[in-house]
Amino acid sequence: MGTRPGPEIPTPLFGAPDRRRGLVVGVIIFLAATATRLWGLTRPTDHGTPVFDEKHYVPQGWQVLTGGNWIEDNPAYGLVVHPPVGKWLLAAGEAVFGYGPMGWRISSAIAGIAIVVMVYCAVRRMTRSTLIGAIAGVFAICDGVLFVQSRMGMLDIFQAVFVVAAFAALIADRDQVRARMHRVYVEGRIPDSDFGPRLGFRWYRFTAGVMLGLTCGTKWSGIYYVLFFTALALGFDVAARKAYHVARPWMGVLRRDLVPSALSLAVLPIVIYLATFIPWFNSETAVYRYQVGNQIGVGGPFGWVPGAWRSLWYYEAGILQFHAGLTNAAGNHHPWESKPWTWPMSLRPMLYAIENGPDQCGAGQCVRAQMLIGSPAMWWLAVPMLAWGLWRWVIRRDWRYAAVLTAYGAGFLPWFADIDRQMYFFYATVLAPFLVMGLALCCGDLLAAAARTARARPERHALAVLVVAIYVGLVVANFVWLWPILTGSPISPAQWHQQIWLPSWG
């Protein structure tokens, strides 16, 4: 297809061009992720029972499965303070493998594998490079946070997989929109309206909305991604209309894109969130299902609202009150608590399980410990990556870093709004995919800068390739080194002390 003469427009390249190689590399990434996530998945346990916060969510998943209503309707199973989607996924694994470690964790492992593959696909699409996508995939495989959370019966990995899916869908939507804009430009129809063309139904944006709804249906903090990703999508739309010389791009977005984006990315997630409570509405015994006439009066200014909806509001308000009360000022302290300013560099990881003694090895003293810890080879570079990404975004107008930093910020910045609240490092699970994406983009920048001068300075290009190769090797070696404390494998006390690099890790 030829291009219409006129002002400069973007190169019509939408995604990496080497599809066959991309598929082969993707399969290799998938197999490596599967092998690492499934190996020894049934360990560790607490004498055959769940470890750490699995003790909350694993029994809730089982009760969802066996209670007959697909909803927790027995408060004795624990604090019912999160929406049901993550517990449905735990229940699905338990339905297949039973109430045991494999059943508790198989859904988490599948989610962890999916995250690795989607990170590879998203970065490959953003950079138009299978190589940089593969680097991102390797980083995701080797990150300690993503690895450990993929092997735990907890909710955070499910929130992360839905967030990454929404992000990948928005990146694909950006390409699809630009392909449509390019076709309109080539056909000479851009001047037909000052606002630019209507772009039709956008299935990728709709998919992102579904994923955001499931994110909120897993944990409430998903609402931040609804806000940040809606802003990101509108930013993509403004940039696309500007790139193809629409006369009034901002007004075009307001007239053409704002309402459809809001319906897909804001209204749809709310509808899906409420839909996840259909089993709750249908249950006779669900928690707080019938509060009108008990805890809630039948009259008042909201007496016209159906009792079921008023009961749901009471339930949700109780959840909010529970979380609001988990503050340090109220005396809620935990030995492994951490604040968000420690998360980017994984300065205060979490101990999930530990067993000591000669019986753990068969002979001699040994330690079996599992920690949630970000691989230092990556997490210790988080601040430089964020600084470089911010410069690329603000000064060089690099949309890739804008996307990655927006997603990272959605999982990081809101926690500073209530710093007195009890917080833990596993809240940073959703940061990990975007950290590895940002680091892969940095590697790509280094290779691209050297490639531009490869003919004049071949030694510079060779040095850049060597530096990136050494860094990728360092990330893999760091993962191998941490393997015993990521999996709870037996090591000697001396080896255990060698794994603790910082005082705050102990």
pLDDT band at 291 (very low <50, low <70, confident <90, very high): confident
pLDDT of residue 335: 87
pLDDT of residue 473: 98
- More confidently predicted of 58 and 77: 58
How far are the Cα atoms of 74, 113, 345 from residue 401, in angstroms, in the given order?
Answer: 45, 24, 19
- More confidently predicted of 46 and 285: 46
What 3-state class would DSSP assign to 354? strand
Sign of the torsion angle spanned by Cα atoms 379, 384, 387, 392: negative
Q: Half-sphere exposure (CA, 13 Å, Cβ side) for 356?
A: 3
- With a cut of 50, say whether residue 12 has pLDDT above it: yes
Phi (first) and psi of residue 297, to 5 degrees: -70, 155
Measure the CA–CA gap between 256 and 272, rounded to whole angstroms.
Answer: 24
For the chain, percent of residues with pLDDT exceeding 70? 96
CB 160 within 8 A of CB 198: no
CB 383 within 8 A of CB 344: yes
pLDDT of residue 328: 84
Measure the CA–CA gap between 173 and 170, rounded to whole angstroms.
Answer: 5
Unique residue bearing structure tokens 């979490």: 350
- With a cut of 70, say whether residue 75 has pLDDT above it: no
H/E stretch holding 353 reads: strand 350-356
How far are the Cα atoms of 221, 331, 345, 505 from residue 420, in angstroms, in the given order?
Answer: 17, 11, 21, 22
Pick from 4-18, 307-321, 348-362: least confident: 4-18
- The arithmetic mean of pLDDT across residues 2-22, rounded, is 78
- With a cut of 80, say whether residue 363 has pLDDT above it: no
pLDDT tens digits, residue range 129-179?
A: 999 999 999 999 999 999 999 999 999 999 999 999 999 999 999 999 999
pLDDT of residue 365: 84
pLDDT tens digits, residue range 294-333?
A: 788 887 787 888 888 998 998 888 888 887 888 888 777 8
Q: Which residues lie across from 356 on neighbouring strands?
A: 367
Q: What is the DSSP code (8-state) at residue 337?
A: -
CB 228 within 8 A of CB 418: no
For residue 366, give every residue at least 6 positions away whose Cβ sits within 8 Å of its Cβ, in sequence order, or none.
356, 357, 358, 360, 490, 491, 492, 493
- With a cut of 60, say whether residue 2 has pLDDT above it: no
CB 339 within 8 A of CB 98: no
For the chain, percent of residues with pLDDT exceeding 90? 74
pLDDT band at 7 (very low <50, low <70, confident <90, very high): low
- The arithmetic mean of pLDDT across residues 447-451, rounded, is 91
For residue 415, give every residue at least 6 positions away whose Cβ sits within 8 Å of its Cβ, in sequence order, or none.
340, 421, 423, 427
- More confidently predicted of 300 and 42: 42
- With a cut of 50, say whether residue 191 has pLDDT above it: yes
What 3-state class would DSSP assign to 234? helix
Other Cβ atoms closer than 10 A to 201: 8
pLDDT of residue 362: 65
- The arithmetic mean of pLDDT across residues 384-412, rounded, is 97
pLDDT of residue 299: 78
- With a cut of 60, say whether residue 256 has pLDDT above it: yes
Of how many residues is the chain composed?
Answer: 506
Rounded to the nearest 10°, the torsion over CA 310, 314, 317, 318 is: -170
Sign of the torsion angle spanned by Cα atoms 53, 54, 58, 61: positive
pLDDT of residue 285: 79
Sign of the torsion angle spanned by Cα atoms 106, 111, 115, 121: positive
Pick from 62-66, 326-330, 486-490, 492-496: least confident: 326-330
Measure the CA–CA gap between 7 and 260, rounded to whole angstroms.
Answer: 29
Most confident among 191-205, 327-341, 398-412 (mean pLDDT): 398-412
Q: Whose CA is closest to 148, among 343, 350, 335?
A: 350
Q: What's the mean pLDDT when you consider all of the chain?
A: 92
How far are the Cα atoms of 194, 381, 472 from residue 386, in angstroms, in the given order?
Answer: 37, 9, 19
Q: pTM score, two decimals?
A: 0.95
- The arithmetic mean of pLDDT across residues 243-270, rounded, is 95
Q: Which residues lie across from 371 on neighbouring strands?
A: 351
- The arithmetic mean of pLDDT across residues 374-402, rounded, is 97
H/E stretch holding 368 reads: strand 367-372
Pick from 21-25, 62-66, 91-95, 233-237: least confident: 62-66
- With a cut of 80, say whether residue 198 has pLDDT above it: yes
Q: Whose CA is closest to 326, among 423, 430, 220?
A: 423
Q: What is the DSSP string of 126-170?
A: HHT-HHHHHHHHHHHHH-HHHHHHTTSSSSHHHHHHHHHHHHHHH
CB 33 within 8 A of CB 39: no
Q: What is the DSSP code (8-state) at residue 285?
A: S
How is residue 217 written in tokens? Answer: 């249906």
CB 72 within 8 A of CB 56: no
Pick from 287-296, 472-481, 482-491, 496-505: least confident: 287-296
Nearest-10 crossing angle of helices 399-412, 222-243: 160
